[in-house]
Amino acid sequence: MIGLLQRVTRAEVRVDGDSVGVIDAGLLVLVGVEQGDTAAGGTRLLERLLGYRVFADDNGRMNRSLSDTGGGLLLVPQFTLVAETHKGTRPGFSAAAPPATAARRFDQLVAEAHRRHPRVQAGVFGADMQVSLCNDGPVTFWLSVPPDSK
């Protein structure tokens, strides 16, 4: 499972003109689900997202996590993160989990996030979404939990 996290001062997801998720300071995370990803892998990704130290401490160093700050977490499904781009001029998606499986894994991730963190919002799997954000820093990291990890 892949999480492309961005530290934001604000982020929002809209579907058909309606806001479906909005946060102030926190993390916007684009989530890609690969073939073979498990619920346990999603839990491990969530642990990393909540514990990853990307927020400044009193000395201006990135030593605080989302769990430390209590900021918002906006999870957005994005299958294009698992695209194969190493050759040619068109991405391939054979590494992506089938839509039904990916939707189930994303929903499990969101449910677990709600259990572990007080401020969670999410995009809509399979929807045409418009995502807006103000990247703070900019700070962006690619986190990955391989499909076979536990």
The question of whether 69 is a catalytic residue gets the answer: no
Residues comprising the chain, all counted = 150
At 123, give phi and psi (nearest 5°): -80, -175
Which of the residues 55, 79, 106, 125 is marked catalytic? 79
Reply yes or no on whether 93 is catalytic.
no
Does the annotation count 78 as an active-site position? yes
Lookup: tokens for 98: 């089938």
Distance CA 71, CA 50 (A): 10
| Cis peptide bond prior to 138, omega within 30° of 0 | yes
User: Per the residue annotation, which of 78, 108, 121, 125 is the catalytic one?
Assistant: 78
- Joined tokens for residue 5: 């996290």
Those residues with Cβ within 8 angstroms of residue 7's Cβ, 6 or more apart along the chain or in another chain: 26, 27, 54, 55, 135, 136, 137, 138, 139, 140
Residue of 80, 85, 93, 130 with catalytic role: 80
Q: Which residues are catalytic?
A: 78-80
